[in-house]
Amino acid sequence: MGSIKKVAIIGLGLIGGSLGQRILRKLPQVKVIGIPRRRVSLRLAKEKKAISTGTLDIKAGVKDADLVILATPIELIVPKFREIVRSLKRGALVMDVASTKTNIVLEIEAMCPQGVYFVGGHPMAGKEKTGIEVADHRILEGATFALTRTKNTSGRALKALEGFVKKLGMRPLVLKPAVHDFMVAAISHLPYLAAVTLTGTVADIKEYKKQLSQLVATGFRDTTRVASASPKWGKEVAASNREQIIEVLDLFQKKLTWLRSRIDHRKYKDLERFFASSKKFRDSLFK
């Protein structure tokens, strides 16, 4: 396992493209090979300076790579690894960047041949829009980059990727896959579900549709921003992190039940205390 001089990125969407840009800007000596599904994505990735070169031949693209980054939709991560595994060189590092980890890590670790090292990854950054067209390396500046560790994780591989992440200007955070998935269910998946539910609730108020469209302002816009994320991503998250999301939804439902009860029984002092404690916690996160 040597230094990382050649990186192959499979999937050139928002995160894959942004990572490519980031690598080329922070580590100009590293060659970035883009491997998308469509030829037009190669052209756009080159225009956005997200890759050094590219190919549609996935096996040829990863053949000599020191690091392979799987940046496809969640449901394609494992199939793409299965497709490339026999083409990887000895000593190659492989990392995915999906927003759920447990199933992916379990399945890929079981397929990893001797001499190939896999670490699950997840940069905590993004936008509500997707695609290489909106790739922007600046979303990764100072971002936390989760890396997974299991009993099968190579210590050397993990250390190498921690160093790589730091060189890109991000902050590595090592977690067990299940711990990552529970926390992300709370801070990423639940906000998405809350935003789409709020949006759907308002959309169902048909009799005031015209007036509502005129009244909506920044509060509704900011609260529901993530509802504009890809519905396919939402479906994949719900399917791949089902148990953790249900657990967090149960906690959220308890809060909503308590909130409704306090409003129903005019317990306004209780509400004010709850609002104050929530504000204090939120403000502590975003100083």
CATH number of the domain encompassing residue 250 = 1.10.3660.10
Any domain includes 257: yes
Residue 130 confidence (pLDDT): 85
Q: Are 160 and 1 in contact (CB under 8 A)?
A: yes
Residue 128 confidence (pLDDT): 80
pLDDT tens digit sequence for 33-48: 999 999 999 999 999 9
Residue 127 confidence (pLDDT): 82
Any domain includes 35: yes
Q: Domain boundary residue among 175, 198, 218?
A: 175
Residue 272 pLDDT > 70, yes or no?
yes
**Distance in angstroms (rounded) separating the CA atoms of residues 103 and 45:** 30
Are 46 and 186 members of one domain?
no
Residue 287 confidence (pLDDT): 79
pLDDT tens digit sequence for 226-245: 999 999 999 999 999 999 99
184: closest CA among 140, 138, 126, 224? 126
Residue 82 pLDDT > 80, yes or no?
yes
Residue 155 pLDDT > 90, yes or no?
yes
Continuous segment of H or E residues that includes residue 144:
strand 144-148
**Distance in angstroms (rounded) separating the CA atoms of residues 58 and 143:** 29
Confidence of residue 129 (pLDDT cuts 50, 70, 90): confident
Q: Are 9 and 20 in contact (CB under 8 A)?
A: yes
Any domain includes 1: no
Are 152 and 265 members of one domain?
no
Q: Are 122 and 181 in contact (CB under 8 A)?
A: no
| Domain count within the chain | 2
Residue 95 confidence (pLDDT): 98
Residue 14 confidence (pLDDT): 95
What SS3 state is found at 95?
A: strand
Domain that holds residue 154: 6-175
pTM summary value: 0.92
Residue found by looking up tokens 């396919």 in the block: 232
Residue found by looking up tokens 């989760």 in the block: 146
Q: Supply the mean pLDDT for the chain.
A: 96
Are 21 and 161 members of one domain?
yes
Q: What is the mean pLDDT of residues 151-163?
A: 97
Q: Which residue has the higher pLDDT, 127 or 59?
A: 59
